Amino acid sequence: MYRFIRNAFTLSLMVGSVCLAVDSPDTASVSRKLDQVVETGCKADDVTPLAPSSDAEFLRRVWLDLAGRIPPLIEAKAVAAGSNLNRADVVQRLLKSPEFARHWGRLWSEYLTDRRPFETDGYDGRRLLQFMTEAFRENQPYVELVGDLILGEGTSDVSGSVNFLLRFNAEPAPLTGAVSQKFLGLSLQCAECHDHPHARWKQKDFWGLAAHFARLRKMTPTQPEEGESFFVVIERPRGELIFEDKRAKPDENGTLPKKTIFPQLPGRPRSDVSRQRRAVLVEWLTQPTNPYLSRHLVNNVWERLHGERLVQNLDHWPPEAASTNSDLLNLLADDFTSHNWNIQRLIQTIVLSETYQRSSDDVEQGDATIDPSLKELQLSHWVRARIRPLSADQLHQSLGQAFGYHFDENDHRLAEATGEEFTQDIPVNNLGAASLTLGRTLSLFNGDYVRGAVELGSEAAIRLYGSTPGADHIERLFLSLLSRRPTTEELEFFQDLGGAADPREGLQDVVWVLLNSAEFITNH
Amino acid sequence: MSISRRSFMQAASIGGLSYFGSSIWSSLFAEQSETAKAKSCILIFLEGGPSQIDTFDPKPGAATAGSFEAIDTKLSGIKFAQHVPKLAELADKLAIVRSLTSAEGDHDRAQCLMHTGYRPNPRLKYPALGSTVAWRKADPELDAPAFVSIRRKFDTSILGPQFGPFVIDDLGNPAPSLTLPEGFSEARMKRRLAALEGFNGRFDKHYQSPLGNDLTQLTRRADRMRNSPVFQPYDPAAEEPELFERYGSGVNDGYLARACLTARRLVEAGVKFVEIEFGGWDTHNDNFNQVQNLSASLDAGMSTLIEDLQERGLLQQTLLVCVGEFGRTPKINGENGRDHFPDVFSALVAGGGINVGQVVGESSEDGSEIKNRPVSIPDFHATLFTAMGLDISKDYFAPDGRLLKLTENGRPIKELLVS
């Protein structure tokens, strides 16, 4: 067990607000408004939405998005047997589940560090993962979470939040870039080196913000015990950010005069440094009038649930003309801030909208082919669910869900499971669209891990229904992996495959095909 | 319902010879008949942005020269910085471009531009050089993938996952899951693949998506890689120890040595494009010590690669490129470093299709601006594509039906190309 040390400032923030763990019942009205915005956009552009998703479709999608894995067999079975799915109940239950906290804690740890949450040379991603998981489990108001991350102090093997600072070396410039990009959706980094003529943010803003981190110091223990590796972050009582004034004339030795940068936030007078500097920064970031913090979070959560952001970033916010996407962003951000920055409420609002619950399946079209530009329009108006490759982690958790595989989260054998994406130091932004790669396909094709899953899956079916592959086997495997029943043709098709060789091998082949199929490795 | 391109293509193919069919055949024929052109390409990507002044465009005597000396090369009057002596000795086998220029000074943006020839566009992922080459020069007989990347990862481009690279992370064991278990018959694998194709076909029909087919192709490609010995574990220290040492196995961590040797083996096996990521060039501080170390690896690795390819008779059919995403400032900063500088920087080009033994373009006396013959990144790409026998003036159609030019207004550097 690890304790989380929060410093005095964080504690006072915690006391100052009421944690709204209970869900307000009125998200339905916000979901409706969301749907109305989408509908208005569709009408204006004459776009026909796809039909609502079936229960089986919804169940699989929402499990993958909220819990990071496919639904368990028993739930898929109930839906397939025709029991009516209470979608609101499913969502409520998932939001309270440990799987939700784990999945979203992980998504956010990866997002904040651009890396997989492992122990590295500079910080301990595992502690940050624990911290984020706990935050999602408690449904900590987002403003408090941001405060905790910026105000972190202590040692990297004990404190979770301090590892966010350590990821950026606890240094002013990298932290300023990270805070602006990851919390505000702004590319302030460019202003580190120069004033861009068209950018709203100037070099002065960058360094004024950076000066709030000027007194942070990363230290290593002088006499670590054997095998011990950790860092300590402290805030010193004095010290200023000093750098060379590149605009000034160098002296006769060619050295530039030094310039002290005092903490100052964009649009504000010089910060009151009688208070802890980072607390001043947090107060500025989290004030209700800051349009960026909430909108960036909403934009980010939307991307996790729909596969694409509403806006690329907030550099040009507010936009010159309103659009469906900016209306959606405003609607959800306003509701988010007026309900105590409640992330679970935001997720619930989105996934219980009709928009999220659209189908992605065109089966009604029969053999007709859809005009690609129409499809593109439906996607950009959010009325066709996007097909998204599962992340390596989702794939992995799903195999566990289907066949009861257990493994150590920090085990590097994971790398073998789904290919190169699992290496610890690869930035996560490579994972999104890129996760369909030849390397990964090769691992699914013949990796040890997958081979094990194939055996386990076929053995389970054999134990229940005997060793001759029949309809029962195939149906169970479909429900386990694809959360639906096979059609009559599919039953025939897979019975043929299963019966083509030795029965045991035949059944393994069935599992292999399902596991390598586009239907299994995507969320749709 | 309008007729889509796909159904049109289906109709067209049923009708036998067609407009589409004939134009595709003629373009294939044109590309394959170019015998003076390179068949493959190896790109050594100097990630981080190397200092051109401290490598291939020294400024002896200028205030910006830094602490390195300039040394003579095989080309009279042309100097390199002191820590690339072997490449200097081979300069008659190189073309040096000293006037690359772009407007992108941010790593991500500049790396995107250098790889795709287009500035980053969040809605449209243009293919990297390797993907384009894999797409245009695909060889159905080849068991190895057409594009292999050593360490560098790529987003899926608009060409789709099929033309993405196979990424090698571990040079000792390039493709860890390659060998089938004992007793696993080829007939069984065939059955599996056929069933997968059928089942993915159903997915594509339901979801109006190319993804099922993409995945089937990727899985078939994974299967074929089993036949390509080049992806089996390989230890150059045991197989070709002397050569491996010349590549620089003992220099720094030996990574580039191993990567270059692997690239040669891949090209031998018919791979069309190999990219080697060689990072560490982002030398904002302590530039000179770092560049000295990095140069030692690059000098051994690239010079031996040239010699090795030549000894095997492969140099004339292999295009070699060495470039970063930008250069570094002539001005030395307070931390003894140099900062990002896209205004003017250098590249090395060698091998097939290239007129070597010359310098293209020139930077000013102190290296702060271009003196003559600016070369844009699209110009650079146009040159590389032309050297590989691809027609940059042509309109191509991506698999999703989208019109795609190989470069955006790029003009090849004529004097660099073998006519």
CATH number at residue B347: 3.40.720
What is the rounded distance in angstroms from the CA atom of residue B210 to the CA atom of residue B399? Answer: 9
Region for B173 from its dihedrals, namely left if φ exceeds 0, alpha if ψ lies in -120 to 50, beta otherwise: beta
- Supply the mean pLDDT for chain A: 84
Pair B288, B143 in one domain: yes
CATH (domain of A485): 1.10.3130
pLDDT at position A439: 78
Of the residues A225, A257, A286, which one is the last residue of a structural domain? A286
Q: Is residue A97 part of a domain?
A: no
Domain final residue, candidates B162, B191, B225: B225
Residue B195 makes CB contacts below 8 A (sequence gap 6+) with: A493, A494, A497, A509, A513
Query: A367 falls in which pLDDT band (50, 70, 90)?
Result: low
What is the Cα–Cα distance from A283 to B370, expressed in whole angstroms? 48
In this prediction, residue A126 has a pLDDT band, given cuts at 50, 70 and 90, of confident
Q: How confident is the model at residue A324 (pLDDT cuts 50, 70, 90)?
A: very high
A211 occurs within a structural domain? yes
Q: How far apart are CA A350 and CA A32, in angstroms?
A: 10
Residue A508 lies in a domain: yes
Residue A99: partners with Cβ closer than 8 Å, 6 or more residues away: A66, A67, A68, A69, A397
- The pLDDT score that the predictor gives to residue B301 is 98
Residue A238 pLDDT class (50, 70, 90 cuts)? confident
Is 80 exceeded by the pLDDT of residue A502?
Answer: yes
- Does B263 fall in a domain? no
Asked whether the beta carbons of residue A443 and residue B177 sit closer than 8 angstroms, the reply is yes
Say whether both B220 and B342 belong to one domain. Answer: no
Whether residue B404 is contained in a domain is answered as no
Residue B417 lies in a domain: no
Asked if A438 is an interface residue toward chain B (Cβ–Cβ < 8 A), one would say yes
Q: What is the mean pLDDT of residues A441-465?
A: 84
Residue B103: per-residue pLDDT = 93
Write down the pLDDT at residue A408. Answer: 47
What ipTM was assigned to the predicted interfaces of this complex? 0.86
Interface touch A518/B203, C-beta < 8 Å: yes
In the numeric block, which tokens belong to residue B31?
Answer: 């590309």
* Distance of alpha carbon A271 from alpha carbon B71, whole angstroms: 54
For residue B211, the chain A residues in CB contact (below 8 A) are 387, 436, 518, 522
Q: Which residues contact A234 (CB under 8 A, 6 or more apart)?
A: A153, A216, A217, A219
Claim to verify: residue B203 and residue B67 sit in the same structural domain: no
Q: How far apart are CA B357 and CA B96, in angstroms?
A: 8
Residue B358 bridge partners (DSSP): B95
For residue B208, the enclosing domain spans: 180-225
Kindly state whether A380 is in contact with chain B, defined as any CB-CB distance less than 8 angstroms. no
Q: Which residues of A touch B153 (CB under 8 A)?
A: 420, 426, 430, 434
Does residue B57 share a domain with residue B78? yes
Is the model more confident about B236 or about A273?
Answer: B236
Residues 6+ apart with CB under 8 A from A445: A516, B177, B219, B222, B223
Query: Could you say which of B198, B202, B222 has the minimum Cβ distance to residue A445?
Result: B222
Per-residue pLDDT reduced to its tens digit, B132-189:
999 999 888 899 999 999 999 888 888 988 899 998 988 988 887 788 888 899 999 9
Does the structure show a pLDDT above 80 at B377? yes
Cβ count within 10 A of residue A373: 11
pLDDT confidence of A140, banded at 50, 70, 90? very high
pLDDT reported for residue A411: 43
- C-beta of residue A473 within 8 angstroms of C-beta of residue A462: yes
Looking at the domain assignment, is residue B253 inside a domain? no
- Of A21 and A101, the structure prediction assigns the larger pLDDT to A101
Interface contact A512-B223, CB threshold 8 A: no
A491 in contact with B, Cβ within 8 Å: no
Domain shared by B191 and B279, yes or no:
no
Examine the domain organization and report whether B139 and B285 are in the same domain.
yes
Distance from CA of B200 to the nearest CA of A (A): 6
In a domain, A229, yes or no: yes
| Percent of chain A residues past pLDDT 90, beyond the cut | 52
* Residues of chain B contacting residue A451, judged by C-beta atoms under 8 Å apart: 181
A244 three-state secondary structure = strand
Among chain A residues, CA nearest to B196: A513
Q: What tokens appear for A459 in the block?
A: 């053995």
Q: Is A304 domain-assigned? A: no
Which H helix or E strand runs over A216?
Answer: strand A216-219
**Residue of B389, B327, B168, B323 lying closest to A437 (CA atoms):** B168
A478/A459 Cα distance (integer angstroms): 15
pLDDT, mean of residues B217-224? 91
* Nearest-neighbour CA in chain B from A518: distance (Å): 5
Are B221 and B143 found together in one domain? no
What per-residue confidence (pLDDT) applies to A153? 87
The answer to whether the peptide bond before residue A174 is cis (omega within 30 degrees of 0) is: no
Mean pLDDT of the residues in chain B: 89
Q: Which residues of B touch A371 (CB under 8 A)?
A: 1-2, 4
Out of A167-176, A229-238, A366-375, pick the least confident.
A366-375
Please tell me which residue of chain A has the smallest CA distance to B206.
A363
Which of A267-281, B277-291, B335-349 is predicted with the least confidence, judged by mean pLDDT?
A267-281
pLDDT tens string A407-449: 544 444 444 444 434 333 333 333 333 467 887 787 778 777 7
The more confidently predicted of residues A504 and B85 is B85
Q: Please, what is the angle between helix A8-15 and helix A277-286, to 10°? A: 30
User: In chain B, which residues have their Cβ closer than 8 Å to the Cβ of A455?
Assistant: none
- The residues in A 152-211 lying below 8 A from B, measured between CB atoms, are 189-190, 193
Q: Assess A361–B contact: CB distance below 8 Å, yes or no.
A: yes
Containing structural domain, residue A155? 8-17+118-286
Closest-approach residue (CA) in chain B for A389: B211
Both B280 and B187 in one domain: the answer is no
In a domain, B231, yes or no: no
Contacts of A490 in chain B (CB under 8 A): 199, 202
Q: Are B231 and B173 in contact (CB under 8 A)?
A: no
The backbone region for B52, taken as left when phi is positive above 0, alpha when psi lies in -120 to 50, beta otherwise, is: alpha
Does residue A197 form part of some domain? Answer: yes
The model's confidence at residue A275, banded by pLDDT at 50, 70 and 90, is confident
B97 and B189: one domain? no
| Band of pLDDT at residue A405, cut at 50, 70 and 90 | low
Higher pLDDT, A245 or A422: A245
pLDDT of residue A189: 65
pLDDT at B58 over 60: yes
Of A370, A434, A441, the CB nearest to B219: A441
Measured distance CA(B339)–CA(B349) in Å, rounded: 24
Mind spelling out the 3-state secondary structure of chain B? CCCCHHHHHHHHHHCCCCHHHHHHHHHHHHHHCCCCCCCEEEEEEECCCCCCCCCCCCCCCCCCCCCCCEEECCCCCCEEECCCHHHHHCHHHEEEEEEEECCCCCHHHHHHHHHHCCCCCCCCCCCCHHHHHHHHCCCCCCCCCCEEEECCCCCCCCCCHHHCCEEECCCCCCCCCCCCCCCCCHHHHHHHHHHHHHHHHHHHHHHCCCHHHHHHHHHHHHHHHCCCHHHCCCCHHHHCHHHHHHHCCCCCCCHHHHHHHHHHHHHHCCCCEEEEEECCCCCCCCHHHHHHHHHHHHHHHHHHHHHHHHHCCCHHHEEEEEEECCEECCCCCCCCCCCEECCCEEEEEEECCECCCEEECEECCCCCCEEECCEEHHHHHHHHHHHCCCCCCCCEECCCCCEECCCCCCCCCHHHECC
Domain count, chain B: 2
Residue of chain B minimizing CA distance to A494? B195
Single out the residue in A250, A270, A286 at which a domain terminates: A286
Contacts of A256 in chain B (CB under 8 A): 334
Asked whether A310 and A329 are in contact (CB, 8 A), the reply is yes
- Helices and strands (H, E) in chain A, number of each type: 23, 7
For residue A443, the chain B residue with the least C-alpha distance is: B177
Q: Does the beta-carbon distance from B166 to A524 stay under 8 Å?
A: no
A51 touches chain B (CB under 8 A): no
The count of other CB atoms within 10 Å of the CB of residue A106 is 21
Q: Are residues A401 and A280 in the same domain?
A: no
Task: Select the more confidently predicted residue: A151 or A419.
Answer: A151
A516 touches chain B (CB under 8 A): yes
Using alpha carbons, list the distances in angstroms from residue A49 to A34, A38, A511. 15, 10, 34
Mean pLDDT value across residues B312-329: 97
CB atoms within 10 A of CB A499: 14
Is B66 among the domain residues?
yes
Asked if B294 and B326 sit in the same domain, the reply is: yes
Domain boundary among B160, B194, B225: B225
> Do A129 and A262 belong together in one domain?
yes
Suggest the residue from B177, B211, B226 to mutate for an interface test with chain A (most A CBs closer than 10 A).
Answer: B177
Calculate how close chain A gets to B199, using CA atoms only, in Å.
Answer: 7
Pair A404, A256 in one domain: no
Give pLDDT, residue A10: 34
Mutate to test the interface with B, among A384, A441, A449, A496 (most CBs of B within 10 A): A441
Residue B346 is predicted with a pLDDT of 98
Distance from CA of B105 to the nearest CA of A (A): 9
| Of A218, A253, A286, the domain-final residue | A286
- The chain A residue lying nearest B340, using CA atoms, is A193
Residue B123 has which token pair?
A: 């809605």
Same domain? For A280 and A420 the reply is no
Domain match, B199 and B164 both: no
For residue A518, the chain B residue with the least C-alpha distance is B212
What's the pLDDT at B135? 95
Binning pLDDT at 50, 70 and 90, where does residue A406 land? low
State the Cα–Cα distance between residues B288 and B308, nearest whole angstrom. 29
Q: What total number of domains does chain A contain?
A: 2
- Taking the Cβ of residue A521 and every Cβ of chain B, the question of whether any pair is shorter than 8 Å is answered with yes
The tokens describing A172, both together, are 């002013």
Whether A360 has its CB under 8 Å from any CB of chain B: the answer is yes
Contact B196 A513 (CB under 8 A): yes
| B120 and B213 inside one domain | no
Residue B349 located in a structural domain: yes
| Binary contact (B214, A437; C-beta < 8 A) | no
pLDDT of residue B35: 54
Which segment of A264-278, B69-83, B342-356 scores lowest on mean pLDDT? A264-278
Could A501 and B218 be called an inter-chain contact, meaning their C-beta atoms sit closer than 8 Å? no
**Residue A519 to residue B1, Cβ atoms within 8 A:** no
In a domain, B344, yes or no: yes
User: Is A270 a domain residue?
Assistant: yes
Confidence of residue A25 (pLDDT cuts 50, 70, 90): low
Same domain, A252 and A399: no
- State residue B386's pLDDT score: 96
Smallest Cα–Cα separation from B270: which of B40, B43, B32? B40
Give the closest-approach CA distance of B186 to chain A in angstroms: 13
Say if A244 is an interface residue toward chain B (CB within 8 Å).
yes
In eight-state DSSP terms, residue A364 is G
